[in-house]
């Protein structure tokens, strides 16, 4: 089973779930310690009410890791109390990230999220991020890999996965395209998705 998942932020505004034939959605909630996506609730409420697979993410800026984790959790706490829980994700990329290169930062953030929520967050990153964070996170965190073999619109049918995943034994999801929207395949069925969300 493969789930088709889109990734949205405020750039997509009040996104209507299902617009690209996806099964579910991951929505950006926060960045750093002073930004909340104003469209997050609109998207999240659709996923919750329709019982769709969904996730919620925090974009690392590389300030204090525990402070960023606390900010993330304080803004998404209510979502963890619904029946259709999201998978939590840390977006670990180089842009606007002062801690880029530090796998320890990512580990500290994810450990703090687990301490505060009881849930294990996964990580969204590409090749360089896999190499940075794999020694610290590969045994606990799900990997959502970002890699784009082509800039063309390939629908939901990318070429076979061409990347290495370092220390991880399992690839949970692959964001393979940003054209015309960020699209990922997750190698799960909904029950498996829900198990990660509850973990």
| Sequence-ordered list of residues with C-beta below 8 angstroms from that of 183, at least 6 positions apart, any chain | 4, 5, 6, 7, 20, 22, 156, 175, 176, 177
| Position 199 pLDDT exceeds 90 | no
b/e code 23-34 from CB counts within 10 Å (16+ = b): bbbbbbbbbbee
Position 177 pLDDT exceeds 90: yes
Residue 121 has pLDDT above 90, yes or no: yes
Three-state DSSP state, 149: coil
**Is the pTM above the cut of 0.95?**
yes
pLDDT at 19 over 90: yes
Decide: 180 and 155 in contact? Cβ < 8 Å: no
pLDDT digits 0-9 by tens, 34-82? 999 999 999 999 999 999 999 999 999 999 999 999 999 999 999 999 9
Q: What is the overall mean pLDDT for the chain?
A: 97
**How large a percentage of the chain has pLDDT more than 90?**
98
Q: At 82, which helix (H) or strand (E)?
A: none
- Report the alpha-carbon angle 110-141-63, nearest 5: 25
Q: What is the mean pLDDT of residues 82-105?
A: 97
Confidence of residue 1 (pLDDT cuts 50, 70, 90): confident
Q: CA geometry: angle at 110 spanning 99 and 34, to 5°?
A: 60
Alpha-helix runs per DSSP H in the chain: 40-50, 65-76, 103-117, 127-137, 190-198
| Cα(110)–Cα(107) distance, integer angstroms | 5
Q: Which residues fall within 8 angstroms of residue 11, CB to CB, at 6 or more apart? A: none
pLDDT at 31: 98
Q: Three-class SS of residue 193?
A: helix
Q: Which two tokens stand for residue 66?
A: 């525990």
Q: CA-CA distance, 126 to 98, in Å (whole number)?
A: 17
Neighbours of 171 (CB within 10 A): 16
Is residue 161 predicted with pLDDT exceeding 90?
Answer: yes
């Amino acid at each position: 089973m493969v789930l088709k998942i889109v990734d949205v932020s405020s750039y997509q505004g009040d996104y209507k779930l299902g617009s690209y034939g996806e099964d579910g959605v991951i929505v950006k909630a926060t960045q750093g310690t002073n930004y909340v996506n104003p469209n997050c609730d609109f998207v999240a409420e659709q996923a919750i009410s329709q019982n769709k697979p969904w996730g919620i993410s925090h974009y690392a800026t590389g300030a204090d890791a525990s402070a960023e984790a606390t900010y993330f959790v304080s803004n998404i706490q209510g979502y963890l109390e619904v029946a259709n829980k999201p998978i939590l994700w840390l977006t670990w990329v180089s842009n606007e990230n002062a801690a880029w290169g530090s796998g320890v930062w990512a580990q500290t953030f994810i450990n703090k999220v687990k301490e505060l929520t009881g849930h294990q967050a996964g990580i969204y990153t590409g090749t360089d991020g896999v190499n940075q964070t794999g020694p610290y996170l590969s045994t606990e965190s799900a990997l959502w890999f970002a890699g784009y073999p082509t800039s063309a619109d390939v629908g939901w049918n990318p070429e076979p996965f061409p990347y290495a995943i370092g220390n991880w034994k399992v690839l949970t999801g692959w964001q393979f395209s940003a054209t015309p929207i960020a699209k990922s395949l997750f190698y799960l069925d909904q029950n498996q998705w829900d198990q990660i969300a509850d973990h």
